[in-house]
Amino acid sequence: MRHTLPIAPQFYVTAPQACPYLDGRRERKLFTALQGDQADKLNDALSKQGFRRSQNVLYRPSCADCAACLSARIRVADFEPTKSLRRVARRNAHMTREARSPWATEEQYALFRRYLDNRHADGGMADMDVFEFAAMIEETPVRSRVIEYRDGSPEGDNDLTAVCLTDVLDDGLSLVYSFFRPDLPKQSLGSYVILDHVEIARERGLPYVYLGYWVPGSDKMGYKARFPALEVYAGGNWQRLEDPSAFSNSTHPLSVDPIAQQVAQITLPDLRPADAKG
């Protein structure tokens, strides 16, 4: 099914399939292609409206009777780490960071496979081969970086420990996908990657760090609610997540507007070429 706006881009909706976050639910996504000279501008605008990037596609959940998936971001200026997060930072003080161009390596893929096999062996990405991994990293029409973290301790051997594919938006950093060594649970590497991105954003003067979706009731996504200064995109607005229990994952046939209405409510940037404006 296709739904279009008076101007490009065109929006589509996927067929329902099993939800990866909540048992017994059916998932559906609203999506559009991300391409051309104006890709960065479209990615910036739609990220502010709850969309996420996957390669050259921008998508947002649009399930028929469920609105549990909420895009989440950290307000960098207001972020103060909790005691537990400060401990995470101390445990990983020996890590070194390097921002690289979005180019896949065999070392990255080896770590990716270890991560998937240990953490998500039955997930939708479990069968990804090296070519699909390379596509995930390299097929980006926007400004993206691969942030690598290595063990820089005196007793370490500079091993690749964590990786994050990150988009650079006009108002922040968007963590597209991260993975890390699964044999170091006490280091809380996933949380450390988020903490470090907050620091990168602070250094660059960017106001937000986008974390993807927070889903009430989902163990996979529950950790995001533990980060201070978090806000979620709900009801067409960004709202501070003061009380996670105030957000429900219950289903209701009126939870989501019709697709055509959702598309009509999307605010698009001016995507005309410079010589066509005015």
Give pLDDT tens digits for 95-150: 999 999 999 999 999 999 999 998 876 767 778 999 999 999 999 999 999 999 99
The residues near 268 (Cβ < 8 Å, ≥ 6 apart) are 5, 7, 9, 42, 45
**6-28: b or e for each residue (b if 16 or more CB lie within 10 Å)?**
eeebebbbeeeeebebbeebebb
Tokens 């990657």 belong to which residue? 193
For the chain, the domains span: 2-70+247-276, 73-213
Q: What is the pLDDT of residue 7?
A: 52
Tell the CATH topology of 73-213.
Answer: Aminopeptidase (3.40.630)
The Cα–Cα gap between 138 and 35 comes to 14
Residue 30 has pLDDT above 70, yes or no: yes
pLDDT of residue 270: 84
Task: Supply the mean pLDDT for the chain.
Answer: 91
Check: pTM over 0.85? Answer yes or no: yes
Q: Indicate if the pLDDT at residue 5 is higher than 60.
A: no
Task: Dump pLDDT digits (tens) for 185-227.
Answer: 999 999 999 999 999 999 999 999 999 999 988 888 888 999 9
Residue 89 exposure: Cα atoms within 13 Å on the Cβ side = 13
Cα(132)–Cα(268) distance, integer angstroms? 30
pLDDT at 4: 47
Could you tell me which residues come within 8 angstroms of residue 67 by beta carbon, excluding any fewer than 6 positions away?
Answer: 61, 234, 255, 256
pLDDT at 248: 79
